A = this chain, B = another copy of it.
Amino acid sequence: MARPKEFDVDHALREAMNVFWSNGYKATSLGDLTRAMRISKSSMYETFGSKHDLFLATIEHYIRTQTTQISGAAHIDAPAVKVIRALFHRAVQRMAEPNSRRGCYLNNCAVEVSVRDGEAGERVEKGLDMMEEAFVELVARGQREGDIATHHDPRPMARFLVSSLNGILVMGKAHADTDKLNDVVDITMNALA
């Protein structure tokens, strides 16, 4: 009865996220966005409301697609420590690829806007909590299976891991030296034993 939407909303959201992810919120103009989304300005406003609304939507999109990947890793059938180490190593590796040197989207948002932009802050916090939860599961399993020490409860341990991962990604933004970052990974893993 009516003309259907021609572009994939989720795909457009993904592209918008990538631009914000690489350039930050303030440094991204509407032109940058619509160019990447391959959409006219009018369509963008009709579909998402405003630049800021779009921004919030990209954070939720990130949580929906990326953060849940980490949760998924928690159920891989391998020793928990191995899974955690693999997650960290992949993060380090990403920072070495020039096109992927943009860290964690939640991390970037937390630093750039979280304090001043409450709406974004809420979402960032929720995303980090989900990461924490995924690591809680992993640590608990590792402790049950005996390859993670039981000096600490799973939750503080998980917080330590989330924090450490974010620290590594920040360092990577300045250094991009894989060896130096792996130094940090090694000691972090050592802290689990």
Q: Measuring CB to CB, which residues of chain A are less than 8 angstroms from any residue of chain B?
A: 23-24, 26-27, 101-103, 106-108, 110-112, 114-116, 121, 124-125, 128, 151-152, 155-157, 159-160, 162-168, 170-171, 173-175, 180-181, 183-184, 186-188, 190-191
Contacts and interface: CB of A to CB of B under 8 A. Distances in A.
Nearest to A128: B174
B164 A163 contact: yes
9 nearest CB pairs, A to B? A167-B167, A156-B183, A26-B26, A163-B167, A191-B191, A160-B187, A111-B111, A110-B174, A110-B173
Could you say which of A103, A114, A155, A170 has the most chain B C-beta atoms within 10 Å of its C-beta? A170
Nearest to A153: B183
22 contacts: A24-B24, A26-B27, A108-B112, A110-B174, A111-B173, A114-B173, A121-B174, A124-B174, A152-B186, A152-B187, A152-B190, A157-B187, A159-B171, A159-B180, A159-B183, A163-B164, A163-B168, A163-B170, A166-B166, A166-B167, A166-B171, A191-B191
A24 B23 contact: no
Contacts of A125: 174-175
Contacts of A27: 26, 116
B128 A102 contact: no
Contacts of A106: 174
Contacts of A156: 183-184, 186-187
A115 B184 CA distance: 21
A102 B108 CA distance: 13
B166 A162 contact: no
Given A156-B186, A183-B159, A187-B191, A170 B107 contact: yes
A124 to B, nearest CB: 5
